[in-house]
Amino acid sequence: MTTLTAAAPIAASQPVADTGSLLQIHPVEFEQNFSQRPFLIGHRLSTHPLFQIERLLELSQRLPESCIEYNAGNIPVSIDSALTPRNGLTPEETIRRIAECKSWMVLKYVERDPQYSQLLEECLTEIRPYSEPITPGMMHPQAFIFVTSPGSVTPYHIDPEHNFLLQIRGSKEVRMLDGRDRGIVSEIDLENFYSDRGRNLRLNPEHEQAGWTYHLQPGQGLHFPVTYPHWVKNGNEVSISFSITFRTPDLDRRRSLYQSNAEIRARGGNPWPVGKSRLRDSLIYTSSRIRRKLASLLSKPEQHACGGRKSCGT
C-alpha cells in the first residue's frame, strides 16, 4: 500500500491577481447572489503550507476525537448518516492512505488551532464588507477541512451556515439544488434539521438533474447558501477543501422558528410555514426567546464537546 506523505504544490486553475488579498471576489456577483444562488470566487490558498499533508496530520493529532469525522467514501448519494460505514482506519492512517483508502474525512472547527484561526479570520475579513450590507452581524466563524479519496461521495445533505468551499487540491463535482423550493426541501425537512434529527436528505429521483453543477478546481471557491441541498463527488485525485463558514443573527431566528414549528407538529398541530406571516413569526420567536431565557435561568447552558457551540458541521 502506497503512503501519501506530502502534497506537491498545485497551481491555481485561474490566475489570481497579486493584490495581496487571499480571495478574489466580484462585488456585483456577490451582491446579486449571496444567500440566494451559488457563485464562484477565486482564492490563492492552493499552495498554502497549512494544507500540506504533514501539517494536516499534525492538526488531526491535536484535534479532539469529537472534531474528526471520517467514513468510507464509496457510498450512494442518498444515505442515512447513521448507516454510513466507517473505513476501519485511524484518522492519521486515513490521511496518509487517502489516495487509496476510498474515504471521506472532515476535520471540524479547525479554528481551534491558532494558525487556522488566523487564516479563517483573514478570509472572513475579506468577505465581511460584501456580506454585511446583505446579512449583517457576521459571527461564529468556523472552518472545516475535507480530505477525500478519489471518487468518494459526500451524500445529499443541508448545512446551517453561510459557507464558502475553497478547493485547495484535486477537483470536485458539486450538485446543488435550490433550497428556496419547498418541493425540494420541505418545511418538515427543515423542522427535522433544526431539531438536530440529521442533515442528510433523500434525493427525489425527479430532482436529480435539477439545480446547478460545478466542477471545482484548485483556486476556485463556491458559495453555498444556507440549507441549499447538495452532494459532492470527488474527481480522480485526492481532494483537499477548506470550508469557511459564519453565522448571522437571522439564522438563529430561523432555527428558533423551525424548532417551534417542530414542537407544534409533534403536538399534532399543522404550523404555518416560516415566512408566511411576519406577525406570526415575530410572536412565535418572541415567545420562544422568553421560554429559552427562563430555561437558561433554571439550568446550565449546553456545552458542545467540540468548541462549545453546537453545529451540524459539514
H-state helical runs in the chain:
27-33, 53-62, 91-96, 114-131, 187-194, 249-266, 278-298
DSSP 221-245: EEEE-TT--EEEEE-SS-EEEEEEE
State how far the Cα of 272 lies from the Cα of 251, in Å rounded to an integer: 18
In whole angstroms, how close is the CB of 134 to Fe ion at the nearest point? 21
**Of the candidates 69, 111, 113, 159, which one interacts with Fe ion according to CB under 5 A?**
159
Convert residues 262-281 into a mask of x (bound to Fe ion by CB under 5 A) and - (unbound).
Answer: --------------------
Q: Which stretch binds Fe ion (CB under 5 A): 24-32, 39-47, 81-89, 153-161?
A: 153-161
C-beta closer to Fe ion: residue 113 or 159: 159
Residue 231 CA to residue 1 CA, distance in Å, equals 29
C-beta nearest to Fe ion: residue: 159
When asked if residue 69 is in the footprint of Fe ion (CB under 5 A), the reply is no
Stretch in the footprint of Fe ion (CB under 5 A) among 110-118, 154-162, 168-176, 234-242: 154-162
From CA 59, how far away is CA 38, in angstroms rounded?
Answer: 30
Which of 49-57, 112-120, 131-139, 159-167 is the region at the interface with Fe ion (rule: CB under 5 A)? 159-167
Q: Which three cell numbers stand for residue 124?
A: 472572513
Under 8 Å between Cβ of 258 and 196 = no
| Binding segment (CB under 5 A) for Fe ion, from list 7-15, 102-110, 142-150, 306-314 | 306-314
Amino acid identity of residue 200, one-letter, is N
Nearest-approach distance from CB 314 to Fe ion, in angstroms: 5
Given the complex with Fe ion, which of 240 and 284 has the nearer CB atom? 240
- Direct distance between the N- and C-terminal alpha carbons of the chain, in angstroms, rounded to an integer: 29
Q: Residues in contact with Fe ion, total (CB under 5 A)?
A: 2
How far is Cα 280 from Cα 188, in angstroms, rounded to an integer? Answer: 18
Residue 178 as a binder of Fe ion (CB under 5 A): the answer is no
Q: Which residues bind Fe ion (CB under 5 A)?
A: 159, 314
